[in-house]
Amino acid sequence: MFNKRFGIGILILVILLVGMTLIPAVSAQEISKISKKPSELEQGLIDSLNSNKKNLSTEDVVANYVKANKDKFQ
């Protein structure tokens, strides 16, 4: 009886250790996806926000960008 419980305990421990090694690998994979270059649409919005010479509000800059590129947002 004791050997059966001991075996189940070891099995659970092995499952936990395997899970702990897989979690950082998945997290690193997600980070690599995030660090990719922005799309053309995103880069255009970034450029519009950075070149705001008229000191418009952020909402106005975004609204103007969406209005100018509405065909790309569909």
φ, ψ for residue 56 (rounded to 5)? Answer: -75, 160
pLDDT, position 31: 59
> Band of the pLDDT at 2, cuts 50, 70, 90?
low
Say if residues 69 and 41 touch (Cβ distance below 8 Å): yes
Q: How confident is the model at residue 51 (pLDDT cuts 50, 70, 90)?
A: very high
Alpha-carbon distance of 19 to 22, in angstroms, equals 5
* Residue pLDDT, tens place only, 5-38: 678 888 888 888 887 776 666 555 565 566 578 8
